[in-house]
Chains A and B, each alone.
Chain A
Amino acid sequence: MNSYVDKLDEKSASGRAAWKPSRWMNMQNKADATMRYVFIISAALVAAVIFSIIVFVGMQGVKTFAGVSPWEFFFSTDWTPSAGKFGAFPFLFSTVVLTLLSVVFALPLALAGAIFTAKIAPNWMREILRPATDLFVGIPSVVYGLIGLTVIVPFIGKVVKGTGYGILPAAIILAIMIMPTILSISEDAIRSLPGRLEEASLALGATRWQTIWKVLLPAARPGILTAVILGMGRAMGETMAVFMVIGNSPQMPKSLISSTTVLTTAIVKDMGNTNYGSTWNNALFLMALLLLVISLLLILIIRVVARRSELK
């Protein structure tokens, strides 16, 4: 007799016979193939553009070493182009300190805000907070710079009895700038977690805070890391607002409130004064390359750290 298995076979065999592509399907398949090529070409194009930027900046930058030794460039603190001294260490150092400091300032506030908006605020407040945060992301940086210049710098100056320029006001301004970015991406990450996680935790007798700290935040960690990377990238690349409050002396900062220069502001400040092809000009390209490399490195480090703390 026919067993069920035989019947199954019959069914799938007849199914297969009917499985001839119709004209409509043929058309769809063709459209599929075309789209695939369009996507591949676009992706290749983007990659090519990025690659050629790196190559161009890199080639131009490397020429610096015809006039200056790498040792001097990376480790000397003396930046006096008129005397042929090109020590870029202060810029590098200040860039790293400024970027890290602004993330340190922004992250706790941003996370608190994200948790509040995602999990604690009542619905009507959430409806207001979300568009407000998005609005902040869109404010041009020169506006932040102006506020820094007219409010924060004088305030710090008064408190410490000095000019008030330096890494501290810049970090505060940058923290304010990147906070909405970190907040809104982290909030998305927290909110998009399945409700089942929260239920599971509460059903075990966890409090709301335990649930947020021990379950929701760790579960949202990849999203929060992305938020931090984006924030960091923005902080490191920001030029205008920093330029207005950091003082712009090409020297090592003696403290967080002493005038210094970062890579981006060094480039804008000097680019107009140099001739294309001069060592000075090349050194600026090298700094641009460094900026690129540092941000790539930061991203890489964060990814590695994240990967390591994650489970297989």
Chain B
Amino acid sequence: MTERHKINVSKLNLFYGDNHALHDIEMTIESNTIAALIGPSGCGKSTFLRTLNRMNDLIDGVRITGSVAVDGQNVYGPETDIVSLRKRVGMVFQRPNPFPMSIYDNIAYGPRIHGTKKKAVLDEIVERSLRQAALWDEVKDRLNKSALGLSGGQQQRLCIARLLAVEPDVLLMDEPTSALDPISTLKVEELTQTLKERYTIIIVTHNMQQAARISDVTSFFLNGYLVETDKTDKIFTNPNDQRTEDYITGRFG
């Protein structure tokens, strides 16, 4: 390849044991764009997302072929340091997963493990991250209370803040707003727009309007195949593939 894409996926196949979950995925994503992944439940969106920061390595019996490159560097190469890869390619999971610690410690966890010790610096990171994730006002008076006492939506925003605190390059977001009320959803969507200036964002969503509102490019997955990737406007007005049109117009899925 001549030009350098932020993310370049080619001939990617993934098997859960005998279950062939991803078929020959080809995709390129440029820096500072928001890519939306859409498709019916079980089509492999989360699985694909997790190949980008090697979270699938944790699952027994997963086999992967093909290549994924971030900044031209092969993610599955033998010399790849998984820990620094995950630091650069961070993830917000489909289900919120705060640590059983205080809100403050949750956010400070990432910076701490990466070597930040100064209280003042940590304080500043915690406040900035929580503000970015539109959670600061709700929790600023109880930073030392357990994060498990937050509501589901607050927990999800906490997880977003926790990720922002480590300042990755690429944000993988697996349905980050599925548990949020419309107002926090809006806040998170606004957040993605500001983050775009510095990050590359890949977001899985079941919400067509959301994909149309916030993303630059959209990829449609079906049964483990990537049906098509195109500019979001194009996908939602005049997709190339009939199946894409059927899906976004609600005729199936």
Please report A residues at the B interface, Cβ cutoff 8 Å. 194-207, 210, 214-215, 218-219, 311-312
In the bound complex, do residue B110 and residue A197 qualify as a contact, i.e. CB atoms below 8 Å apart? no
B80 contacts partner chain A, Cβ-Cβ < 8 Å: no
Structural contact, A210 and B113, CB atoms closer than 8 A: yes
Interchain nearest-CB distance for B157 vs A (Å): 14
B97 CB contact (under 8 Å) in A200, A214, A311: A200
Please give the distance in Å from B246's CB to the nearest CB on chain A.
29
Q: How far is the CA of A215 from the CA of B146 in the complex (A)?
A: 14
Q: Which 3 A-B pairs have the closest CB atoms?
A: A205-B87, A196-B97, A311-B146
Q: Is the CB of A204 within 8 A of B110?
A: yes
Are A204 and B100 touching (Cβ within 8 A)? no
Chain A residue numbers with a CB within 8 Å of B145 are: 311-312
Q: Given A196-B97, A210-B113, A219-B100, decide whether A204 and B146 contact each other with a Cβ distance below 8 A.
A: no
* Bound form: Cα–Cα A207–B93 in Å: 18
For the complex formed, measure the closest distance between the CB of A192 and the CB atoms of chain B, giving whole angstroms. Answer: 13
Residue of B nearest to A216 (CB): B99
Asked whether, in the complex, the Cβ of B97 is within 8 Å of the Cβ of A204, the reply is no
Candidates B86, B98, B101, B102; contact of A204 at CB < 8 Å? B86
B115 to chain A, nearest CB (A): 11
Q: With the chains together, A203 CA to B88 CA distance in Å?
A: 10
Q: Which residues of B contact A218 (CB under 8 A)?
A: 100-101
Q: Bound complex: CA of A204 vs CA of B84, how far in Å? A: 9
Given A205-B84, A205-B87, A311–B109 Cβ distance below 8 Å?
A: no
In the complex the two chains form, what is the Cα distance from A201 to B58 in whole Å?
Answer: 12
The yes or no answer to B90 lying at the interface (CB within 8 A) is yes
Once the chains bind, are B102 and A201 in contact (CB under 8 Å)?
Answer: no
Cβ contact of B99, chosen from A197, A205, A207, A210, cutoff 8 A: A197
Name the A residues within 8 Å of B84 (CB-CB).
205
Interface magnitude class on chain B: 20 to 34
Q: Is B144 part of the contact surface with A, judged by Cβ < 8 Å?
A: yes
Interface SS, A side:
helix
Cα separation A263 to B146 with both chains bound (whole Å):
42
- Chain B interface SS verdict (over half): mixed
Q: Bound state CA distance, A214 and B114, in angstroms?
A: 13
Residues of B within 8 A of A210 (CB): 113
Provide the bound-state CA to CA distance between A40 and B110, in Å: 49
Q: Is the C-beta of B248 less than 8 angstroms from some C-beta in chain A?
A: no
Can you show 10 pairs from A to B with CB atoms below 8 A apart? A195-B58, A196-B93, A197-B97, A200-B97, A203-B93, A204-B87, A204-B113, A205-B84, A205-B166, A205-B168
Partner of A206, one of B58, B98, B113, B163: B113
- Cα-based distance from A215 to B101 in the complex (angstroms): 9
How far apart are B240's CB and chain A's nearest CB, in angstroms?
34
Contacts of B162 in A (CB 8 A): 200, 204
Q: Does B95 contact A (CB under 8 A)?
A: yes
- What residues on B are CB-neighbors of A195 within 8 Å? 58
Q: Do B99 and A215 have beta carbons less than 8 Å apart?
A: yes
Residues on the B chain within 8 Å of A196, using CB: 93, 95, 97
B91 within 8 A of A: yes
Flag whether B201 is at the interface (Cβ < 8 A).
no
Q: How far is the CB of A133 from chain B (nearest CB, A)?
A: 23
Q: Which residue on chain B has the smallest CB distance to residue A200? A: B97
Known contacts A311-B144, A311-B145; is-contact A203 B83 (Cβ 8 Å): no
Q: Determine the chain B residues whose CB is within 8 A of the CB of A203 once the complex forms.
A: 53, 55, 86, 90-91, 93, 163
CA–CA, A199 and B98, complex, Å: 11
Q: Apart from A204-B113, A207-B83, A219-B99, what 12 extra A-B contacts exist at CB < 8 Å?
A: A197-B99, A201-B109, A203-B91, A203-B93, A204-B109, A205-B90, A205-B113, A205-B166, A206-B110, A215-B109, A311-B145, A312-B145
Is B159 positioned at the interface, with any CB of A under 8 Å from its CB? yes
Chain A residues with CB below 8 A from B58, complex form? 195, 198-199, 202
Nearest-CB residue, chain A, relative to B163: A204
Residues of B within 8 A of A205 (CB): 83-84, 86-88, 90, 110, 113-114, 166, 168
Residues of A with C-beta under 8 A to B97:
194, 196-197, 199-200
Closest B residue to A211 using CB positions: B113
Interface hub of A203, A207, A214 (most chain B Cβ within 10 A): A203
Contact A201 B55 (CB under 8 A): no
CA distance A201 to B100 in the complex (A): 12
Residues of the B chain whose Cβ atoms lie less than 8 Å from the Cβ of A197: 97, 99-100
Name the one of A199, A207, A214 contacting B55, with C-beta atoms under 8 angstroms: A199
**In the complex the two chains form, is B159's CB within 8 Å of A311's CB?**
no
User: Is there an interface contact between B99 and A201, defined as CB atoms closer than 8 Å?
Assistant: yes
Interchain CA distance A198-B146 in the complex, whole Å: 18
Chain A residues within an 8 Å CB radius of B90:
203-205
* Residues of A with C-beta under 8 A to B98: 200
CA distance A217 to B102 in the complex (A): 15
